[in-house]
Amino acid sequence: MANFTSASQPVRRHHAASRAPRTLSRVLIYSALLFWAFVCLFPIYWTVTTSFKSALDVTQGHLLPWLDFWPDWKGWRSLGLSPDSILGTSTARAEFVSRFENSIITSVGASVLALVLGSLAAYGLSRFRYKFGWMRNDDILFFFMSQLILPPVVLALPFLVLYKALSLLDTRFGLILLYTLTVLPIVIWIMRDQFNSIPVELDEAAFVDGLSVWGAFIRIVLPLAVPGLVAAFILSLVLCWNEYFFAALLTSTDAKTLPVMVASQTGSQGINWWSMAALSTAAIAPLVIVGIFLERYIVSGLTTGAGK
Amino acid sequence: MQNSSPLADDPHRKLASQRILVRRKNAGRALVVLASLGSFLLLLIQILHSTGVVTVGFADWRPILYAYLIWAIAIGVGQVVVRRERGLRALFLLPAVLFTVAVVIFPTLFGIYIASLDWNLSSFEGPHFNGLNNLIGLFHDDYYWNALRNMIFYAVAVLGEYAVAFGLALLLNAEIRGRRFFRVVFLLPLMLSPVAVSWMIGKSLMEYRFGPAATLARHLGWDDPAFFASPWIARLSIEAMDAWVSIPFIMIMLLAGLQAMPKDVLEAAKVDGASGWQSFWHVTFPLMLPVSVTVLIIRIIFKLKLADIVINVTAGGPGGATDTVSSFIYRVYRDRSNVGYGTGLAMFYLLMIIVFLTVLLRLSSRWTQKVA
């Protein structure tokens, strides 16, 4: 009995000694986490709340709604999106809606096109051996991936001249082509990894059942590749939605996208903070929602091949 | 023996099927040749039309685009007809290759041609050839070299982003509650468009008079919190914004690497009595080296394209201190409509990127091999 207690004593003391630094490290970890969460969220919080502030609230740096300022639909009214102005006609809203529509059409169009071209190529590269002159599969993959290093400026001016000749300047279709190009390497990268993870035996079983290469691809392999498709699609969507450089150079009136509209508003001096804030909020809201609900897919798309 | 296929025994039928095969092949080849000739003819007519040699032709070059599309389809059909099974396989790759050739390779080659022109869109005279003058001109362009020097700063700053991101990845990998919440929150900045961020942070949070960041800086004892007035502070502010947007990407990649790391190695280090710092420095960090190198290279590639934030917040100022090559070329075009010179600058930049990345890839693969 005496033996037992004396034996347990040092153990307990050891525990007590290690608990203090453990709590300390807990506190440090959580405070670091909370600090960075604040860094990430504050600009978004600031933008959203500013869209409800009056000029006085902005200049006095009021931060907390209902406590030190009274929220008002000011910013949203100037966009024609507040409850009291949503039913009336508003040129600001008409412009915003058309830019929003352009952004949706170009980013969805480009993502779909990139997904079609990219997953076909990825499936080919994952399953068959190609020989194209001196180029083998790895070279072809490198050829696609090397597009990533191309800075937009290199293509922007040639495209400006080419699009003028093709009368594709300021069209959504022109933007879709360019956006497809920028996301195609990423789609191929993600989809090749996805197809590599699907066993070849499935294809072979499909061939035995009398399906052609394309039949096996469309009916057997593609349904299994849906997670990769979703990840690639969402990642492309995000990249295309946020693209500014090409859109700024190649669109002027008809095909302007949302980032161009936001940028053109910041350029003008003496812009109302509340309307800028409302516009920024509206521009980022779709992606914030995507980020919150589809985070899993974005992470899986980004980390393709990272853990290997 | 008796049962062997009647088809093979019948030389007549075999010959017939071979003949069909040959006919198919010829038909396929003829289709490709026809389509190629047709589109080439169309292109020739349009070139002659646009140079004013012939009057026949189209108002714009759009039909050439359609011709390319039809030619591409003909190539695909030809592949299948001539090479059957192998053609069907090639059909997977062909669309992406033809697309890339049309949208990247051709414009890049065209860009090299434009780079040799003296071409100002706002002047009345059209483009005319001036050989290497653009190239010679850029060597005397101080603003261009200044922008290139800034790119070095921005590229080196990736290491800082990496350090912060590694810390965050370690935090997220620790045993914490609400990991999913923190992961979603930490990822959010990556989703935001750089243009919106330019306003949200650059133009409003960091605003001199009543931006919260400026107010905070005043409280902390900086009397004159002008984030974009002096060169170094402006550069750091731009870098901070870009870091805010892109740290999540590095963090997520590193987190994936951490989660894929074998757990027993770390436990073995703990058993051996390594402290937290030691086990990080001698176990985690070396194991993470391949992922780290990959993510750093990807990040540098993207950093070399940095433009949106600079264009929208400082437009390169003060005095070109924050200029990136992309934002500088953007202004060469926007303010001076100088297509020829701008393209020349861009091409030269591309060349430098290729050289730089080749060296970087070589060095990094040699280095990781030595360490690992």
Q: 0.95 cut: is pTM over it?
A: no
Interchain contact A46–B (C-beta under 8 A)? yes
Q: Using CB atoms, which residue from B91, B193, B357 is nearest to A259?
A: B193
CA B142, CA A103: separation in Å to the nearest integer?
A: 37
Residue range A280-293, pLDDT digits in tens: 898 899 989 988 89
Tell me the shortest Cα–Cα distance from B247 to chain A, in angstroms. Answer: 11
> Which among A296, A145, A307 is positioned nearest to A231, based on CA atoms?
A296
CB count in 10 Å sphere of residue A291: 22
CA distance A216 to chain B (A): 12
Quick check: A157 and B339 CB within 8 A?
yes
Determine the pLDDT at residue A223.
Answer: 92
* Amino acid letter for position B251: M
**Sign of the dihedral through C-alpha B138, B143, B147, B149:** positive
Q: Return residues 18-57 of B near A (CB < 8 Å).
A: none
Selection from A270, A273, A272, A251 nearest residue A261 by Cα: A251
Q: Give me the pLDDT at residue A91, please.
A: 78
How far from chain centre, in Å, is Cα A1? 65
The more confident residue out of A270 and A212 is A212
Q: What is the pLDDT of residues A62-103, one digit of tens each?
A: 777 777 777 878 778 877 777 777 777 777 888 888 999 999
Note whether A166 contacts B95, CB cutoff 8 Å: no
Q: How far is the first Cα of chain A from the last one, in angstroms, to the nearest whole number? A: 54
| Contact indicator for A152, A158 with CB cutoff of 8 Å | no
Q: Which residues of A touch B343 (CB under 8 A)?
A: 157-158
CB of B60 within 8 Å of any CB in chain A?
yes
Distance to chain B for A167, nearest Cα, Å: 7
User: Which chain A positions have a beta carbon within 8 Å of B187's beta carbon?
Assistant: 291, 295, 298-299
Domain spans in chain A, listed from the N-terminal domain onward: 1-40, 91-302
- Band (A305; pLDDT cuts 50, 70, 90): low
pLDDT for residue A185: 92
Q: Do A161 and B110 touch (CB under 8 A)?
A: yes
What per-residue confidence (pLDDT) applies to A307?
46
Domain residue spans of chain B = 6-114, 142-371
Q: What is the mean pLDDT of each run of 10 residues along chain B (372 residues)?
A: 47 75 82 85 82 76 86 87 84 91 88 83 72 79 89 94 94 88 92 88 82 86 84 91 93 90 82 81 87 90 90 84 90 82 89 92 83 62
CA distance B56 to B45: 7
Neighbours of B134 (CB within 10 A): 24
User: Closest Cα partner for B198 from A279, A237, A54, A74?
Assistant: A279
Topology (CATH level 3) of domain A91-302: MetI-like fold (1.10.3720)
- Cα of A2 to nearest chain B Cα, Å: 30
Cα torsion B365, A151, B351, B236: sign: negative
Q: Which residues of A touch B163 (CB under 8 A)?
A: none
User: What is the Cα–Cα distance from B78 to B82, expressed in whole angstroms?
Assistant: 6
Under the phi-then-psi rule, with left for phi > 0, alpha for psi from -120 to 50, and beta for the rest, what region is A169? beta
Q: Mean pLDDT, chain A, as a whole number? A: 84
Q: Write out the two tokens for B266.
A: 């770390």
Chain B residues in contact with A128 by the CB 8 A cut-off are 89, 92
* C-alpha B245: how far from chain center: 17
- What pLDDT sits at residue A117? 95
Is B351 in the A-facing interface, judged by CB distances under 8 Å? no
Of A124, A244, A267, the CB nearest to B93: A124
Q: Cis bond leading into B6, ω under 30°?
A: no
Bridge-partner residues for A199, per DSSP? Answer: none
- Kind plus residue range of the DSSP H or E element containing B117: strand B117-118
Residue B310 phi, psi (nearest 5): -65, -45
Of B62, B90, B256, the CB nearest to A303: B256
Which residues of chain A are within 8 Å of residue B252 when distances are taken between CB atoms?
299, 302-303
Pairs of CB atoms within 8 A across A/B: 282
Q: Which fold has domain B142-371?
A: MetI-like fold (1.10.3720)
* Of residues A63, A245, A262, nearest to B199 (C-beta): A262
B28 Rama sector, left if φ>0, alpha if ψ -120 to 50, beta otherwise: alpha
pLDDT digits (tens, 9 = 90+) for A25-62: 889 999 999 999 999 999 999 888 888 887 777 777 77
Tell me if chain B has a CB within 8 Å of the CB of A133. no
